[in-house]
Structure 1
Amino acid sequence: MLARLRGVRSIHTTPRLTKFSLHPPKTVEVKFDNGSAFNLSAEFLRIHSPAADSKVRSIGGEKVIFGRRHVGIMSAEPVGNYGVRILFDDLHKTGIYTWDYFYHLGSNKFTLMRNYIKTLKKHGLNRDPPRRK
């Protein structure tokens, strides 16, 4: 099978990233060669981090990150030619956001956010951080 695939180019359906702009502390702007442009909030990126995180609560088998409404982005560093690692002000920094993943997040932003809010409500959680005692 590998012999048959050697001469075949991979089909890449995700548009190519043309612009990445960090607007700390609250947003990242990404643009693609098909004209798509997305402004993604720090909260949205944090709750959809592609990394495992110790601050994730597992509830009924669902992994839920909550209380991140006011999280900020401190910095972003390039990872090869394919993505960035974002450092958030809650010190989360292990997720690598690829250009393809940014496109997925931007293209599905409203559905993903709606589902996230439904999940929080289902478990009695909130987007706001817990109050300190």
Structure 2
Amino acid sequence: MAGLRSETPSPTALTLHGASRVLEIGFSDGSTYRIPFELMRVCSPSAEVQGHGPGQEVLQTGKRDVDVVSLEPVGNYGVKPTFSDGHDSGIFSWDYLHFLGTQQAQLWDDYERRLREAGVDRDAPMAAKAGHACGH
């Protein structure tokens, strides 16, 4: 089992690319995704980003240059990154990383739309509550 869902392929390779700020992850179905650290950070599955229910999401800004400074395994189902801005409470299951990889274009489009709707710039400093995070 790859993560929490049996239909998700198993991870076969995981590489942090610091210079290009991407996590490269390969799966047993032959797919490989390059997930930008910024996308991981703005779509973190943590309660800090997603909230505790619908409408409680917090739009993340100022994360373009965020790095992943460490990546710890969590059981057999995922990893917990620590980001350079100190965020370290999101557990990224293999399922969620597969979702981020397969839905990357749509997630970016949604993120940019939410930024426009909130009237904030991607590089703006974080506000206390600026809108919605990634939906999953």
Task: Map 1:1-133 to 2 at 5 A.
Answer: 12-24=6-18, 26-53=21-48, 62-130=57-125
For each residue in 1:41-98, what CA deviation from the matched residue of structure 2 results, as whole angstroms up to 9, or x when unmatched? 11000001010227x8xxx755311121111111101111111110000000000001
Q: Residue type matched to 1:32 in 2?
A: F
- How much does 1:129 deviate? 3.8
Inter-partner Cα distance in structure 1 for 2:80 and 2:56: 27
Structure 2 unaligned blocks of 5 or more: 126-136
**Contact residue 48 and residue 58 of structure 2 kept, 8 A:** no
Unaligned runs of 5+ in 1: 1-10
Name the SS for the 1:39 alignment partner.
strand
Alpha-carbon offset, residue 24 of structure 1: 2.5
Post-superposition, which runs of at least 4 consecutive aligned residues in structure 1 deviate over 6 A?
none
Match of 1:8 in 2: none
Q: Which has the higher strand share?
A: 1
Q: Give the SS at the match of 2:9.
A: coil
Question: Structure 2 length as normaliser, TM-score?
Answer: 0.78
Quote the Cα distance in structure 1 between the aligned partners of 2:96 and 2:65: 22
1:21 offset after TM fit, Å? 1.0
Identity value in percent? 39
Structure of higher RCO (CA pairs closer than 8 Å, 6+ residues apart): 2
**Matched-pair contact (CA < 8 Å) for 2:42–2:60:** yes
After superposition, the CA RMSD in angstroms is 1.9
Larger radius of gyration: 1
Mapped contact 1:43–1:70 kept (Cα < 8 A) = yes
One-letter amino acid of the structure 1 residue matched with residue 119 of structure 2: G
Count of matched residue pairs:
116
